[in-house]
C-alpha cells in the first residue's frame, strides 16, 4: 500500500462519517435535539397521548385489522342517494369480477388496551360489499349433477318456488336438469339471497 493510500483511506472514512452526521441532522432536526419544523407534536384529548412520529405510537386509523373491531358493511338496499349523503354503505352485494364488487367504508373501533393516537372510532375504507351465507359452489354443483332432477340444487340456493316445479316435473324431464348445470357453471345461477359463494382456502 502506498503512502497516498495510507493518507486517503482515513480521510475518505472521515468524510463519509461527516456526510452521515449531516444527513442525520437534516432528517431528525439537528444535533441540538430540536424537532424538525414540519413535525407537529399535538396532545390528543380523547386518548391523552402526544403524537410523536419517531415513537412506536401510531394513528389509530393506521392500525391493522387485528387490533380493530369493525362493523359489517351498511346495507342501503339499493338506495344510491343515501350512499351519496352518507359517503359509505352498500347499494348492491356481490359480483363475479373484481370490477363488479362495490367497495365501502365501515365503522371501526380500536380494541381496549391498544394505545394509539387520535380518535378510537373512525371510518376505514377498503371493505368489499360481499356477504357469505354458507353457499359452496362445488357442493351445489355436485347436488346439481347427482340430484338435480329432484331440484336439490335450487332448494339449497333458496329458489324454493322453481325448486318445487323442478321436483314435480323430475327436472323438466331432464332438460331443466341439464340447463341448471350449465347455468351453474357459467355463473348464471346464484344464491337467491344475493350472497357470494364461500371460497375454499
| DSSP assignment of 145-157 | HHHGGGTHHHHHH
In a structure prediction context, what are the per-residue pLDDT tens digits for the chain, which is 201 residues long?
A: 555 555 556 656 665 555 555 544 444 444 343 344 444 556 556 656 666 777 777 888 888 888 999 988 888 888 888 888 888 888 888 777 778 888 899 999 999 988 888 888 999 888 888 888 888 888 889 889 998 889 998 999 999 999 999 999 988 888 999 999 999 888 888 888 877 787 764
8 Å CB contact between 122 and 108:
yes
End-to-end CA distance of the chain: 63
> Which whole-number Å values give the CA distances from 107 to 47, 94, 112, 189, in the listed order?
18, 20, 16, 33
Angle between helix axes 175-185 and 137-147 (nearest 10 degrees) is: 160
- Domain extent listing, the chain: 1-35, 43-128, 137-185
Amino acid at each position: 500500500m502506498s503512502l497516498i493510500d495510507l493518507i486517503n483511506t482515513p480521510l475518505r472514512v472521515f468524510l463519509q462519517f461527516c456526510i452521515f452526521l449531516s444527513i442525520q441532522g437534516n432528517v431528525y432536526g439537528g444535533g441540538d435535539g430540536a424537532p424538525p419544523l414540519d413535525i407537529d407534536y399535538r396532545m390528543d384529548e380523547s386518548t391523552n397521548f402526544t403524537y410523536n412520529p419517531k415513537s412506536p405510537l401510531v394513528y389509530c386509523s393506521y392500525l391493522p385489522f387485528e387490533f380493530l373491531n369493525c362493523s359489517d358493511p351498511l346495507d342501503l338496499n339499493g338506495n344510491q342517494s343515501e350512499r351519496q349523503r352518507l359517503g359509505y354503505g352498500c347499494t348492491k352485494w356481490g359480483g363475479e369480477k373484481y370490477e363488479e364488487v362495490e367497495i365501502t367504508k365501515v365503522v371501526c373501533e380500536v380494541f381496549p388496551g391498544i394505545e394509539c393516537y387520535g380518535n378510537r372510532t373512525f371510518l376505514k375504507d377498503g371493505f368489499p360489499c360481499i356477504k357469505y351465507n354458507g353457499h359452496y359452489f362445488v357442493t351445489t354443483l355436485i347436488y346439481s349433477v347427482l340430484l338435480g332432477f329432484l331440484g336439490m340444487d335450487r332448494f339449497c340456493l333458496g329458489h324454493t318456488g322453481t325448486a318445487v316445479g323442478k321436483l314435480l316435473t323430475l327436472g323438466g324431464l331432464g332438460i331443466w336438469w341439464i340447463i341448471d348445470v350449465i347455468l351453474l357453471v357459467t355463473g348464471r345461477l346464484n344464491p337467491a339471497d344475493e350472497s357470494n359463494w364461500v371460497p375454499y382456502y
